[in-house]
Structure 1
Amino acid sequence: MTDFTPLQSLIGGGLIGLSAVLLMAFHGRIAGMTGLLAGVLPPLAADWPWRAAFLAGAAIAPMLWLASGWEISFSSPATPWTLATGGFVVGVGVVLGGGCPSGHGVCGIARFSKRLIAATLTFMATAFVSIFVLRHLIGAGS
């Protein structure tokens, strides 16, 4: 069971939305994490410094949260191998889907992009079906 964390979720969601709005306002870019990451991996994009700063902020923010005394509880019945395999499968989906859920979901829905709304609905439906099959039909993670 996942812990109910409305305050942390509200703050985190607000910060994600704010960062997406600021990135669009100052750079005219969509806050898709995989697209940003692609620009800081060789070959470097011409605009890699702001990409690196944005990604660093995404990594540093949880550290500041922890340093302020709050905790981030996480537990998973999955093995590290299963998590790594899941990460690989998600990476393949990002390439096939032309982006990640952060860019499609947060920014695409906010811009009323029909294509990105359809992509987000596909991501979510696939996740719901996967979890249902794994937890209720196969019995994994019980």
Structure 2
Amino acid sequence: MTIDWPDFTPWSSLIGGMLIGLAASLFIVANGRIAGISGLIGSLLQRSTTGAIETVLFLTGLLVAPLIWRLYATLPTIEFSSGWPGLVFAGLAVGIGTRYGAGCTSGHGVCGIARLSPRSMVATGCFMFSGFATVFVARHLWGH
């Protein structure tokens, strides 16, 4: 393995991780709800208005944060090498996975593991293994 030292950003990554942890902690303390993004988006699609304002504010923060970051630093270039069909397929696969797994990476990986939830530990292990396997197949077997 080779580390790309000029692009290695340990301090901004550490600060970003701490901000994610702080936001998830504040959200559960203030609302008693897990800050799982798929669950929050799903709750907006339901008719219940309980916690809707906090949910909208939290999700808005996710969208606005990169715009604020752009004022202070250059955002990385986003490249999709698989094209639109691959991107749509990946989005649908993730959506189906979050429904079957009863949550997403933020709900299980950030909040669930922090609460020592066995279900979240298994779910996180499953999606991490799936990601590793996908990268291995795509890079070493398909040559992308």
Q: TM-score, normalised by structure 1?
A: 0.89
| Amino acid of the structure 2 residue aligned with 1:129 | A
Correspondence for 1:73: 77
Correspondence for 1:46: 50
Correspondence for 1:7: 11
Q: Which runs of 5+ in 2 are unaligned?
A: none
- How many Å separate the matches in 2 of 1:4 and 1:73? 15
- How many Å separate the matches in 1 of 2:8 and 2:20? 19
Correspondence for 1:18: 22
| Amino acid of the structure 2 residue aligned with 1:94 | T
Using the TM superposition, name which of 61-70 and 122-131 deviates more: 61-70
Q: TM-score, normalised by structure 2?
A: 0.88
Superposed CA RMSD in Å reads: 1.8
> Cα offset for 1:126?
0.9
Using the TM superposition, name which of 125-134 and 67-76 deviates more: 67-76
| Amino acid of the structure 2 residue aligned with 1:77 | S
> Cα offset for 1:47?
1.9
Correspondence for 2:66: 62
Aligned to 1:135, which of 136, 139, 143? 139
> Cα offset for 1:81?
2.1
Q: Which runs of 4+ in 1 moved over 6 A?
A: none
- The total of aligned residue pairs comes to 140
Contact 2:39 2:103 in 1 (8 A): yes
- How many Å separate the matches in 2 of 1:118 and 1:18? 24
Contact 1:94 1:100 in 2 (8 A): yes
The percentage of counterpart residues that share the same residue type is 43
Contact 1:32 1:102 in 2 (8 A): yes
